[in-house]
Amino acid sequence: MPFPPDPNTPSRLALQLGYAGLIPFILLPALLWIVRAELQAWVALALTSYAALIASFLGGIHWGMQSGDNSQTSTHSRSSQDRVRLLWGITPSLIAWVALLMPSYAGLPLLAALLVACYVVDRQTYPSAGWSAWLPMRQRLTAVATLSCLVGAGAV
**Where are the chain's structural domains?**
21-66+82-155
31 vs 71, residue with greater confidence:
31
Q: What are the pLDDT digits (tens) for 91-132?
A: 999 999 999 999 999 999 999 999 999 999 999 999 988 999
∠ CA 140-63-99, nearest 5°, is: 60
Q: What are the pLDDT digits (tens) for 47-100?
A: 999 999 999 999 999 988 887 665 555 555 567 888 888 999 999 999 999 999
The whole-model pTM stands at 0.89
* pLDDT level of residue 1 (50, 70, 90 thresholds): very low
